Amino acid sequence: MRPRRLAAAVTALGLVAAGPTVTGGTAVAHGRGYSALIQRASYGVPHITARDFASLGFGVGYAQAEDNVCLIAEQMVTVNAQRSRWFAADARNVSSDLFHQKAIDDRAAERLLVGPRDGLRSPSNEVRDQIRGFVAGYNAYLRGAKTITDPACAGKPWVRPITELDVWRANWARMVRASSGALADGIVAAAPPVTNGSSAPSATNGSSAPPRADGTSAPASAPQAEAVVAARDGAPAGVGSNAYGLGRDATASGAGMLLANPHFPWDGAERFYRMHLKVPGRYDVEGAALVGDPLVEIGHNGRVAWSHTVSTARRFVWHRLTLVPGDPTSYLYDGQPRKMTARTVTAQTPGGPVSRTLYDTHFGPVVVVPGRFDWTAQAAYAITDVNATNNRALDGWLAMGRARSVGELRAVLDRRQFLPWVNVIAADRDGRALYADHSVVPRVTGSLAAACIPAPFQPLYATSGQAVLDGSRSACELGRDPDAAVPGILGPANLPTLVGSDYVTNSNDSYWLANPARPLEGYPRIIGDERTERSLRTRLGVHQVRQRLAGTDGLLGKGFTTGKLWDVTLGNRAYGGELVRDDLVRACEAQPTATASDGTTVDLTAACAALRGWDLRVDLGSRGAHLFTEFALAGGLRFADPFDPAAPLNTPSRLAVDDPRVRTALADAVRKLAGIPLDARLRDIQTEPRGTERIPIHGGRAEAGVFNMIIGVLQPGVGYPKVRHGTSFLMAVELGRNGPSGRQILTYSQSANPNSPWYADQTRLYSGKGWDTIKFTEQQLKADPNLVTYQVGERHH
């Protein structure tokens, strides 16, 4: 059935394409035009070959538009500050539009393109060509498509041709995802206090929010910014990952091996897209990128494979501003007053324009987080966002794709310092493994922190890595490390790196235990914490490697093959259950009633039985897994023994059975699951909709100690009928002498379009723990029984 559907799709596409010729398997451009060869393999994965980066970009833009035109179109609505115009004019969209309109007015994206085109001071010609081609390919699809079949945007006026500037704006937004972008509502909320004795002006846009000194109404809160401040580290909300880099000592063959397992949203602009991109002799990389991005961001070439996990480092610093008495929009700097820059920013909504006056300092924007970072008559707070000027990322990923060894990959990281908010885990053909948090991190050294973080803010820095610097002294500017790519960030010598022939791992805790045999210590606190308790997911991740190397995990033999790596990753162990389930059941059976947090007495008899029968996994056939998940989410995993930094993988581990909050959490879980059998199979209650089909989904929550993270939204009385976030692109690749091999999958499938043949196929595959194979070599690709080839292109006029 699939080959016929593919052929029908390609026939339609052939009418759109400009018909370039093909020579030797590579598309040849028509003079100065674009031309690319697209080979669609099983599950709709495009393998795109072109003679130059402009044509490669054309092929990428065209293929991504075929599969996800609505996602890309919506991204462009967002970065052009038009969400309120085309979608709901709610508080979140208005805040987003004001933030992005400010970036447009500031020419944030245009500034990225100024300077010598060396990939460090501004993007290279290769990357600019890739972007130019991507735009042309996307627009060619729009012009040629008779109709858009995705109901999410079919016939919508906000689907339009895009420009190169649109894509650069989207790139800038990706860079500030964990900094300015995460604080957007706090930037929009920032307003000076109304001075005593003056009457507060009325709001001008019909809002009931409190009045601001500029006469408009201010948001009553900034929930996104509040979440950033409350977070234990700098990882952006809603994303995470696991990754293993396995060296020669950890694999059965002695070749390097990599596990890529990013945990990202299953819907929206942060979906991954699988692709294989090739410019013969210059670039050849298979893997995945976020939809709308033109280059592979997680993947492999013929000799090196890499993945990313979200780093704990902070991407911005606070500056406490000492305000000039009587003038809350001026601040003192080395004893001299400096005036803030005030700018009125306007967002268009169906109900009329909404305007705010936003404020900047020489550090960056003023931000308000109610109750934590307030703007008073005496003080205000601004941030320096070190990713706001990061124009190095696309060239960095391009250079990563060309690295031939872990050593070369490390040199790319050292020289370019481009990764906005992620670690790198990598392995190479020679059996070397690499961990590095070489992300873009503000230059807060130990000495700067000691001298410039005022005493009241030192505990915040110690616990969360948020640095609040004295903004009144030039001595407290970020400065420059001699080996840093740009001013204001930590240089490579101050960033944690580990290379070896055994293994490295990361599951979103800090760098400290990338390999517990060789802890990384002594780095600035702003990057992450050391000698502190690790998450259950981190601990299980390390245990899984160690047990596989020892052959004690129940699988045959010792060491990893790609098959064993796949089996371990999707083994679906719930480490929290392994630690405490037996003690919990004993306590439950000894006293089978408990008081819920609302004071209700709850009968725990059925819960005790469900937990006793649970297999300690989150497989489709696991019964009672959801009960333990809700117990963990209710705060039931409380331990009696303390964390021991000398035994970080095994402590804490004993359930605090005498803590009444443990029983309360179990009672609350039972109440929350009312109407759902406590011993239900996971397959019957955790699903992903595809049309009228409900595909069973295995995996579970990190709070329960699950490695294969899946987050569903509980619907009372029903279960978890939709996945929100979790395992997305999954790849287990071995870098053998005959080329890369292994397994890969995109859990939510290649296309978000319900009318696409590639809307549900990989989701069903994931449900059965199946896989697609690595198809890097010509031989591997030609062996695909569903391979369909077509050309796309466009002449320049």
Residue 357 DSSP code: E
- What phi and psi values does residue 167 have, to the nearest 5 degrees? -70, -35
Nearest to 744 by CA among 617, 574, 569: 569
What do you get for the CA distance between the two ends of the chain, in Å? 40
Report yes or no: 429 and 255 within 8 Å, Cβ to Cβ. yes
Residue 16: count of CB within 10 angstroms of its CB: 17
CA–CA gap between residue 148 and residue 154 (Å, rounded): 5
Which amino acid, 588?
C
Nearest to 250 by CA among 78, 111, 431, 52: 431
The count of C-alpha atoms lying within 13 angstroms of the C-alpha of 546, restricted to the half-sphere facing its C-beta, is: 11
- Distances in Å between the Cα of 493 and the Cα atoms of 107, 346, 490, 501, 526 are 33, 44, 8, 22, 15
The pairs formed by 771-774 with CB atoms below 8 angstroms and a separation of 24 or more are 771/566, 771/743, 771/744, 771/745, 772/42, 772/43, 772/45, 772/743, 772/744, 772/745, 773/741, 773/742, 773/743, 773/744, 774/286, 774/300, 774/731, 774/733, 774/740, 774/741, 774/742, 774/743, 774/744
The secondary structure element, H or E, covering residue 349 is strand 341-349
575-590 vs 660-672: helix crossing angle, rounded to 10 = 100
Report yes or no: 52 and 72 within 8 Å, Cβ to Cβ. no
Report yes or no: 68 and 271 within 8 Å, Cβ to Cβ. yes
CA–CA gap between residue 96 and residue 389 (Å, rounded): 20
The count of C-alpha atoms lying within 13 angstroms of the C-alpha of 292, restricted to the half-sphere facing its C-beta, is: 27
Nearest to 469 by CA among 479, 483, 486, 457: 457
CA–CA gap between residue 558 and residue 550 (Å, rounded): 6
CA–CA gap between residue 193 and residue 375 (Å, rounded): 7
Q: Name the residue with tokens 């989207």.
A: 170
The answer to whether residue 597 is catalytic is no
Report yes or no: 316 and 329 within 8 Å, Cβ to Cβ. no
**Contact residues for 677 (Cβ-Cβ < 8 A; gap 6+):** none
Length of the chain (residues): 797
679's tokens: 């011993």
Report yes or no: 194 and 187 within 8 Å, Cβ to Cβ. no
User: Going by DSSP bridges, is the β-strand pair 46-49/272-279 parallel, antiparallel, or unpaired?
Assistant: parallel
Report yes or no: 289 and 273 within 8 Å, Cβ to Cβ. yes
CA–CA gap between residue 388 and residue 172 (Å, rounded): 7
Residue 623: count of CB within 10 angstroms of its CB: 20
- Distances in Å between the Cα of 70 and the Cα atoms of 168, 269, 273, 549, 571 are 18, 9, 14, 45, 35
DSSP for 286-339 reads EEEEETT-SS-SEEE-SSEEEEEEE----SEEEEEEEEETTEEEEEEETTEEEE
Exactly one of 55, 179, 217, 241 is catalytic; name it: 241
Q: Which residues are catalytic?
A: 241
